Structure 1
Amino acid sequence: MTEVHGRIWQKGQPVDGFTFSGISDCLDDEDTLVWADIYDPDHDALVALADELGLNVWAVEDATAPKERTKATVYRSHTFFTVYAVEMVTPDDDTTATLTKHRISAFVLPRGLITVRLPPVEGGDPNFGIKDVSQRFDELGGQEYGVGALVHGLLDVVVDGHFEAVQVLDDDIESLEDDLFAESSPPKSLQRRTFRYRKDLVELRRVVLPMREVVSAIKSRRMDSKTAPELDPLYDDLYDHVLRASEWTESLRDMVTTVFETNLSLQDARLNTVMKKLTGWAAIIAVPTAVTGFYGQNVSYPLMNTFSGFVVSSAIIVVIVAWLYVMFRKRDWL
């Protein structure tokens, strides 16, 4: 069901009276700034609004398409971008993904921002991060800087969510390393958890890496329009955060791959250790088997049926077994 929320500022002051039908009237007023947030939009209503505001028809289709990658497109009258906010949820088991994505598409107009959000496929809070965007805007004093402050607040919340997800995954992967090198054998769930984190990192990488293009495109459009230069340092800082999140995600991807490969190597090493011990004990057990088998043959042999023969055979067993045990211990086979 379509939900529409929004805020209006006139001459830098917040005012009441936001309505979906009045968006175009607000955008026509040079002293008015409007933010409209549309959740689970009705396609026909959104198309009608796009016709009224002169939005690109293909951008509208991208905003409602079931699958769309992170990107930014600059048109003559507005800028369109799609980003993904993320949150970490508690998984039901060791194979369920912990990463939930929330898609946010936005139309950036000279005096307004229209955000379009779709329901998350994986579940999660439908209003994830939206209140934070409004709060960031107020803390910044965004009324003085116009729509650029709204866009910065939105992207800042999204990038902060990326950082939080990367931090959670980093901590989880460190716990994998602790289990991997524990003195006891790693738990059976380690491989399943490793596979789950690899899937989460693949999904996170798909939404984090393209953010560089989105922020760069918006920065370029702002520089061309020369609006609110006071926000330029904030956008530079935002771009730096995007780069750090991208680099961190790449390093974690390498790390979890290393954990997976190291686990396989450790399993091979443990198997080799077990095989060495089994081989060593098999060689030791073979000595008394061979000696007693020789003296148990049904033909005459020296010291047959004598006490001295028993002593000699026992001595041979003890000496050879002791020698093998010492040699194997020196070679770390036992």
Structure 2
Amino acid sequence: MTDTPAPSCPTSTRLYEAGEVVAEGFDPHEIADQLQAHPKAVLWLDLFDPDENDLKVVAAEFRLHPLAVEDAVHDHQRPKVDRYPGHLFMNVYAVHVDTAAPGPAMHKTEISSFITERALITVRKSPSDLTPLIERWDTDAGLAPDAGVGFLVYGLLDVIVDGHFAAARRLDEAMDKTEDDMLEEGGAPRSVRMYGFALRKTLAALRRPVAPMAGLIADVMRADTEMVAEHLEPYYRDVDDHARRAIETIDSARDRINGLLEADLNEQSNALNDVTRKLAAWAAIIAVPTALTGFFGQNVPYWGYEKFWGFLLSLGLILGSAAGLYLYLKRRGWL
């Protein structure tokens, strides 16, 4: 058994028996010996960024289907659960959201999993912190007796879905300050508006890995998979509830930011109308004296032509007509 080839990529291993870690950090080529020495134990094997040859070694050891192995090698698979003879293939995304200026950004890690009767094999395609996953298994060790590999899958899904819900809440909270800035009189500054657009884009990106999770969990819980023990069903239903709450939070936040952007656009239109109206009013005020001076100065001599009192008369007429038009427009609210 010890001559079995091992993957060359970085790996993590743990062996659980009745919720207790009976072995960890052992080389992958010792897996068969460890499983044989602990017939009631279940294995967790993590592979970081394996190539095709690495997965072929694991596939030969656990009899994994070639199509599942192909999906695990290639990036950007959709969240799903596929059934193959002797095992399930599951693909999910762990997400993290950064809401700092100048715009929010989402970081995601694709995690493919092979779920056999006695092993959970995870394939990570980008760097991620495994500490929350290990801590969740250690914290919920009391669920493990007679739960088999379903205990490990529950811990993985719980961490993933909690991350989805936390990301959705973080984006929703980031919207509070944006809402205050956008609803100011005259419309939001361009930086605030661009942050709002970035929020909407990030929410759309987050929805893609989150939306299928409720259906994915339902597929895992199907009776014919025989993986979820009866005492684990309430915990899986709790994860399902969190997944649904996450997508509801995302949809609510998306409707909210769309409403804010539309309200900001309306406020900008109102401000533009005010500016346009004031420009038209001032143009009218300027046009009146322009017309008068044009009439008296260019076409015919005005009353009192070449007389000082005539100049005073024309000046008074200009000022009086402009002032009258100003008062009229002011009373109408155009100025």
Query: TM-score of the superposition, structure 2-length normalised?
Result: 0.87
- Per-residue CA deviations over 1:228-284 (Å, capped at 9, x if unaligned) read 211111111111111111121122223333333333333332222211111111111
Which residue number corresponds to residue 297 of structure 2? Answer: 296
Structure 1: runs of 5+ lacking an equivalent: 120-125
CA positional deviation for 1:88: 2.2
- How far apart are 1:58 and its partner, in Å? 0.7
Match of 2:288 in 1: 287
Shift of residue 107, structure 1, vs aligned partner = 1.3
Match of residue 148 from structure 2? 146
Q: 1:112 maps to what in 2?
A: 119
- Aligned counterpart in structure 1 of residue 201 of structure 2, from 199, 202, 208: 199
Residue 213 of structure 1 is aligned with which of 212, 215, 219? 215
Structure 1 match to 2:251: 250
- State the shift of 1:290 in Å: 2.0
Query: Which of 82, 88, 97 does residue 91 from structure 2 map onto?
Result: 82
Counterpart CA distance in 2 for 1:267 and 1:137 is: 53
Q: Is the 8 A contact 1:113 1:151 kept in 2?
A: yes
In the alignment, which of 61, 66, 71 is matched to residue 80 of structure 2?
71
Structure 2 equivalent of residue 122 of structure 1: none
Which segments of 5 or more consecutive residues in structure 2 lack a partner in the other structure? 1-7
1:329, CA displacement in angstroms?
Answer: 2.0
Measured after TM superposition, the shift of residue 2 of structure 1 is: 1.6
On the 8 A contact 2:94/2:110 being kept in 1, the answer is yes
Alignment of 1:230-241 (within 5 A): 230-241=231-242
Q: Which residue of 1 aligns with 2:134?
A: 134
Q: Which residue of 1 aligns with 2:3?
A: none
Deviation at 1:101, TM superposition (A): 0.6
Which digits, 9 at most, give the CA deviation of each residue in 1:148-204, with x for residues without a partner?
221111111111111121122222333322222224653222343233223322221
Cα-to-partner distance string for 1:110-153 (whole Å, 9 max, x where unaligned): 2221111012xxxxxx232x211111112112432332221111
The offset of 1:85, in angstroms, is 0.4
Contact 1:198 1:253 in 2 (8 A): yes
Q: Shift of residue 296 of structure 1?
A: 1.9
Hey, what does 2:17 align to over in structure 1? Answer: 10
Instruction: Give the C-alpha shift of residue 206 in structure 1.
Output: 0.8
Cα deviation, residue 12, structure 1: 4.1
Q: Select the residue among 49, 67, 72 that pairs with 1:58.
A: 67
Letter in 2 for 1:173: M
Q: 1:211–1:242: 8 Å Cα contact kept in structure 2?
A: yes
Show the counterpart of 1:23.
Answer: 31
* CA separation of 1:80 and 1:25: change in aligned 2, threshold 3 A: farther
- Matched residue of 2:54: which SS? helix
What is the root-mean-square deviation in Å for CA atoms of aligned residues?
2.5
Are the structure 2 counterparts of residues 226 and 187 from structure 1 closer, same or farther at C-alpha, using a change threshold of 3 Å? closer
Aligned partners of 1:159 and 1:10: how far apart in 2? 25
Aligned match of 1:47 in 34, 56, 59? Answer: 56
* 214 and 37 in structure 1: CA distance in 2 versus 1, 3 angstrom threshold: same
| Counterpart Cα distance in 2 of 1:208 and 1:226 | 23
Q: Secondary structure at the match of 2:334?
A: coil
Deviation of 1:227 (Å): 4.6
Contact 1:26 1:33 in 2 (8 A): no
The structure-2 alpha-carbon separation of the partners of 1:78 and 1:277, relative to structure 1 and needing over 3 Å to count, comes to: same
Structure 1 residues 50 and 13, CA gap change in structure 2 (3 angstroms):
same
Offset, 1:311:
4.3
Q: Separation in 2 of the partners of 1:265 and 1:79? A: 51
Q: Is residue 24–residue 53 contact of structure 1 (8 Å, CA) maintained in 2?
A: no
The secondary structure found in structure 2 opposite 1:297 is: helix
Aligned-pair distance for 1:298? Answer: 5.7
Letter in 2 for 1:149: F
| Aligned residue type for 2:204 | V
| Number of aligned residue pairs | 324
